[in-house]
Amino acid sequence: MSDNSKRMGNPDDLEHLAKLFDGRGNLRDRLDEAFTRASHLGVRDTLSPIKPMVSWTDDTAVDLRRRAAVLRAENGDPKAAALYAGFKPEDLKGGSLPPEAMLIANASVADGSKFDSAWLKRKPGETYQDWLQRIPGDAVAKVSGDENLGEVVGDYISLTALASTVPGAFKMAAAGTLHLIKYFKSLKTPGSVKFLKAPGTTLAQILKGQGPSYLPSRVARLGASIGARTPAPILDFLAGKDSLAALSGKQWAWEANLLKVGKNAGSLSRATGASRLGAFASGAGAAARTAGFWRVTGIGGSAAATVIGGFDVWQEGNPADAFKRDKAGYVAKVSGVAFNASLTAAMIAPTPLTIGAAVVTGAVYGVASIVDNWDTVKKFPGKVADAGAWAGKKIGEGAGKLADGAKSLGKSIGGLFS
């Protein structure tokens, strides 16, 4: 594509044309349907002359989107690099490219004659989240000219993500297991049944003077003191309104099944003559007030992580092929989705089933994530040492050039006074 054609092209038109090739219900889908029908009829061989059209359709659609991405990059569109990589606009959800990496990536796309943009292209089976994680490290490698330094950055991002998610998964697995053991033991003693609590509500318990037994007494007393001095409306807003927990047969808000609270509140509203919509609104409001701001926020965050993770797994394509490409990585992704989904369910309705599911999926997710990143963990210290040596060398080269410059300046000044 020439510079003139770049300036005169319309990226929207190119992307629309790409959809005609691989969009839902368009050429690629029709080809797949034709081959499927031919297979059922036993005449698939008769379509073999047009089989190359399948790969041609995919390649052409990707090429059109890359051309459109070049035009968008010239206009400063922050999504240009991802579109150039081969992702569709609908794929670009749930992540944002760091500004420094985005500038380098878009510069590579905007002027391919000066920059090698092949490193941006999506690899086989690579999801948008995988691509976002890879690009910053590759960008550093391009700028510095040192691949090891780029790997250090990429590995650091991976290990940071590992450190921010795996401990929480193991914590849920351990705490949930202990909680279930205490719960089932209490069932054997008449009159001492301890209800299950929603994950992530420990702070609410502490502020209301019901901190866990494993908490140091001094911390528990301090938390209860702070809670006692907090105005009741504010504490109820943050930690949940205990009086509404009775709608699900519980005493405390963190024990309440929010689905039951909402259902029973809605039924009461209907009994007083409210419409269906009014009853639904009443039930949803009661459930939200019972949960409190902190619990609602936790449910929202976990649900969002489930959706983003699920979309990431969907981008992997055929599960069998994805598992063959990266066994540990695929198991980590799938178990991560399952963990976030079960955690969301446990926060909404703390029951033996939901908490048990969170315990199991949390343990699987934690182990799979460590296995998937084990090579990175082992090699990271050595890569950091090599990066330090590279940095020291560059600093030394810079100091040498500075010294040579100072000598040349000294000679020039000396010449002026000789």
The 3-state secondary structure of the chain, one letter per residue: CCHHHHHHCCHHHHHHHHHHHHCCCCHHHHHHHHHHHHHHHCCHHHHHHHCHHHHHHHHHHHHHHHHHHHHHHHCCCCCHHHHHHCCCHHHCCCCCCCHHHHHHHHHHHHCCCCCCCHHHCCCCCCCHHHHHHHHHHHHHHHHHCCHHHHHHHHHHHHHHHHHHHHHHHHHHHHHHHHHHHHHHHHHCCCCCCCCCCCCCCHHHHHHCCCCCCCCCHHHHHHHHHHHHHCCHHHHHHHHCCHHHHHHHCCCCHHHCCHHHHHHHHHHHHHHCCCCHHHHHHHHHHHHHHHHHHHHHHHHHHHHHHHHHHHHHHHHCCCHHHHHHHCHHHHHHHHHHHHHHHHHHHHHHCCCHHHHHHHHHHHHHHHHHHHHHHHHHHHHHHHHHHHHHHHHHHHHHHHHHHHHHHHHHHHHHHHHHHC
Look up the pTM and report it: 0.70
Side-chain half-sphere of 312: how many Cα atoms within 13 Å? 24
pLDDT tens string 93-103: 656 666 666 66
pLDDT for position 6: 45
With a cut of 50, say whether residue 2 has pLDDT above it.
no
Mean pLDDT for 155-160 is: 76
Q: What percent of the chain has pLDDT above 90?
A: 25
Tokens 């939901």 sit on residue: 354
Contact present, 379 and 341 (Cβ < 8 Å): no
What band does 31 get if pLDDT is binned at 50, 70 and 90? Answer: confident
pLDDT for position 303: 93
Contact present, 398 and 406 (Cβ < 8 Å): no
Q: What percent of the chain has pLDDT above 70?
A: 83
Mean pLDDT for 232-245 is: 92
**Single-letter amino acid code for the residue at 268:** L
What band does 121 get if pLDDT is binned at 50, 70 and 90? Answer: confident
Average pLDDT of the residues of the chain: 80
**Which of residues 59 and 234 earns the better pLDDT score?**
234
Between the ranges 35-44, 162-171, 219-228, 393-402, where is the mean pLDDT highest?
Answer: 219-228
pLDDT tens string 181-233: 888 888 877 666 578 899 989 899 999 988 887 788 888 899 999 999 999 99
**Which of residues 412 and 352 earns the better pLDDT score?**
352
What are the residue boundaries of the structural domains of the chain, listed by start? 3-89, 168-378
Residue of 366, 364, 367, 351 whose CA lies nearest to 179: 351
With a cut of 50, say whether residue 39 has pLDDT above it.
yes
pLDDT for position 350: 93
Give me the long-range contacts of 262-268 (CB less than 8 A, separation at least 24).
262/286, 262/287
Tokens 């109820």 sit on residue: 236
Mean pLDDT for 127-145 is: 78
With a cut of 60, say whether residue 113 has pLDDT above it.
no
Query: What is the token pair recorded at 51?
Result: 């089989």
Q: Given CA atoms 78, 84, 89, 95 in this order, what sign does their dihedral have?
A: negative
Contact present, 170 and 362 (Cβ < 8 Å): yes
Q: At what angle do helices 11-22 and 27-41 cross, to 10 degrees?
A: 10
Neighbours of 91 (CB within 10 A): 20
pLDDT for position 300: 93
What band does 258 get if pLDDT is binned at 50, 70 and 90? Answer: very high
Cα–Cα distances in angstroms (integers) from residue 369 to residues 114, 159, 177, 375, in the given order: 39, 10, 20, 11
Contact present, 64 and 18 (Cβ < 8 Å): yes
pLDDT for position 317: 80
**Which of residues 237 and 100 earns the better pLDDT score?**
237
28-32, 106-110, 170-174, 207-211: least confidently modelled range? 106-110
Spatial CB neighbours of 194, under 8 Å, sequence gap ≥ 6 = 182, 183, 186
With a cut of 70, say whether residue 240 has pLDDT above it.
yes
Mean pLDDT for 69-95 is: 75
Mean pLDDT for 393-402 is: 55
What band does 5 get if pLDDT is binned at 50, 70 and 90? Answer: very low
pLDDT tens string 295-336: 999 999 999 989 988 988 888 888 888 888 888 888 989 999
Intra-chain end-to-end CA distance of the chain, in Å: 60
pLDDT for position 358: 94
What band does 293 get if pLDDT is binned at 50, 70 and 90? Answer: very high
Mean pLDDT for 34-61 is: 79
pLDDT for position 4: 42
Contact present, 204 and 238 (Cβ < 8 Å): yes
Neighbours of 295 (CB within 10 A): 25
Mean pLDDT for 243-252 is: 90
pLDDT for position 62: 77
Between the ranges 83-87, 362-366, 413-417, where is the mean pLDDT highest?
Answer: 362-366
